Structure 1
Amino acid sequence: MTKHQKRLSVPNSWPVERKEATWTVKAGAGPHGAAGVPLLILLRDVLGYVDSAKEARYALNQGTVLVNGDAVSDVRRPIGMFDILAFTEREEYYRVFPDEGGRLALTPVDADAADSRLGKVVGKRQVTGGDFQLSLHDGTNVRVEDGSEYSAGDSLVIDNETKEIVAHFSYEEGALVTAVAGAHAGEIGTIEEITVTAGSGPNTVRVAQEGEEGEDAGFETIADYVVVIDENFTGGEDAVTTGGESE
């Protein structure tokens, strides 16, 4: 199987310039599915910490680059939405967050914020023994004794060391959300209305935003395109985008 990917056909979320070259690295097996960005792209093309895959492999072998609290050694390891990327020697920490247009960007966070990550619940089922298994957007499964308080669309904050749930945000009207796909990717607002569509059509949400001079604003999008967050995700420094530049 080839380890290369044509730039023109990469997912829209990948922070790469499509016309600079024909090929780029292909994501390996792992979380986030096809939308996962190979770690090499973030190290080389976004942060500019390495110039080649060889340098990236050497850096990862030092054990000082962590993804969600775990040291990684595979340059093709997929990185996706809300992952935490830590450089322990540099004391630099980033959260992967959707930017305008749906591209993934690295948002600097402090060390305390890097101790946990956000996950969107995309499925729930009862397993042997009576416990419930919550499936998150990145492929992670979390087991809980009582699943009654959790629903698809909710968001969980998972401690990177203990893998336990430390916070829970319900998907409901009034919740703070960010759009992660579609025309409004990267925008943040409050759920004003949830519309359940009869039949096979997607459910939709109306998101309220404060416009200029306090005027009402907002947008409507598919329910699957929004993720519930809290106010800690709305601030911080500028995101790092392709080429290592801040906007």
Structure 2
Amino acid sequence: VKDPKFPAGLMDVISIPETGEDYRIIPVYRKGLDLVEIPKEEAGYKLCRIVRKMHVSGGHLQITLHDGRNIRFKELTDEVLSYKTKDTLKISIPSQMILEHLKLQENMYGLLIKGPKQGLHGKIVELKTDVVYPAKPLVKLSTDKGDVTSLLDYLMVVGSDKPLVRLP
């Protein structure tokens, strides 16, 4: 973020050039969103959750990310078609190139970004997506505070074996 009056949100990187410090906005358990100091090499990318995927005019595919970005794909490759909602993309900043695609599946590393357990993180143990209304899809995480069950909408994938970003 270069403009001091620009709003910042989840997973945004804030750099202070005078001191050479970089921070990322991350949810912390029982605190809410907080600044976590990160190394210089981690300041060059951010993780974004896919919230919507749709076809737009011209036969293009467009995905919307949690921070309001829209990415339009003119060519529908197999990789682009494999992007699903609730997956996570690792995006370089400021060039906004897609570096990595993290699928929502078991044995990935997840972070709860909403709800009463916001800020807890760990391995995804179980996904319950095939539920019948009025039940909601659930996820079970193995955290350092024990196994935690939460709504699937509250989860963001942040890595495969270990998180790609520094977590508190």
TM-score tier (shorter): 0.7 to 0.9
In 2, the alpha carbon distance for the partners of 1:73 and 1:102 equals 23
Task: Confirm whether residue 123 of structure 1 aligns to residue 52 of structure 2.
Answer: yes
Of 129, 132, 138, which residue of structure 2 is paired with 1:198?
Answer: 132
Of 121, 126, 140, which residue of structure 2 is paired with 1:188?
Answer: 121
In 1, the alpha carbon distance for the partners of 2:52 and 2:31 equals 23
In 2, the alpha carbon distance for the partners of 1:232 and 1:172 equals 16
Contact 1:102–1:180 (CA<8 Å) still a contact in 2?
no
Whichever residue aligns with residue 194 of structure 1, its letter is L
Of 11, 15, 20, which residue of structure 2 is paired with 1:91?
Answer: 20
* Structure holding more helix per residue: 1
Contact 1:94–1:109 (CA<8 Å) still a contact in 2?
yes
Percent of aligned pairs sharing the same letter: 26
Question: Unmatched 5+ residue regions in structure 2?
Answer: none
Q: What is the alpha-carbon root mean square deviation over aligned residues? A: 1.8
In 2, the alpha carbon distance for the partners of 1:85 and 1:234 equals 14
TM-aligned CA deviation for residue 209 of structure 1: 3.1
TM-aligned CA deviation for residue 143 of structure 1: 2.1
Contact 1:156–1:168 (CA<8 Å) still a contact in 2?
yes
Question: Unmatched 5+ residue regions in structure 1?
Answer: 1-66, 212-216, 240-247
In 2, the alpha carbon distance for the partners of 1:122 and 1:101 equals 25
The 1:78–1:207 alpha-carbon spacing in structure 2 relative to 1, beyond 3 Å, is same
In 1, the alpha carbon distance for the partners of 2:44 and 2:141 equals 29
After superposition, the C-alpha distances for 1:186-245 in whole angstroms (9 at most, x for unaligned) are 11111111112212442111112356xxxxx3110000111000223245xxx6xxxxxx
Contact 2:27–2:34 (CA<8 Å) still a contact in 1?
yes
After superposition, the C-alpha distances for 1:53-83 in whole angstroms (9 at most, x for unaligned) are xxxxxxxxxxxxxx1xxx2142xx3211100
Task: Confirm whether residue 103 of structure 1 aligns to residue 32 of structure 2.
Answer: yes
Task: Confirm whether residue 208 of structure 1 aligns to residue 155 of structure 2.
Answer: no
Of 162, 165, 168, which residue of structure 2 is paired with 1:233?
Answer: 165
- Structure (1 or 2) with the larger CA radius of gyration: 1
TM-aligned CA deviation for residue 125 of structure 1: 0.6
TM-aligned CA deviation for residue 102 of structure 1: 5.3
Of 208, 219, 223, which residue of structure 1 is paired with 2:152?
Answer: 223
Whichever residue aligns with residue 233 of structure 1, its letter is V
* Structure holding more strand per residue: 2
The TM-score, its normalising length taken from structure 1, stands at: 0.60
Q: How many positions carry a matched residue from both structures?
A: 160
Out of 116-125 and 140-149, give the one that drifted further.
140-149
Pairs within 5 Å for 1:96-175: 96-101=25-30, 103-144=32-73, 145-146=75-76, 147-175=80-108
In 2, the alpha carbon distance for the partners of 1:85 and 1:101 equals 22
Whichever residue aligns with residue 226 of structure 1, its letter is L
The 1:187–1:108 alpha-carbon spacing in structure 2 relative to 1, beyond 3 Å, is same
In 2, the alpha carbon distance for the partners of 1:158 and 1:207 equals 25
In 2, the alpha carbon distance for the partners of 1:179 and 1:166 equals 22
In 2, the alpha carbon distance for the partners of 1:91 and 1:234 equals 17
Deviation >4 Å, runs of 4+ = none
In 2, the alpha carbon distance for the partners of 1:199 and 1:109 equals 41
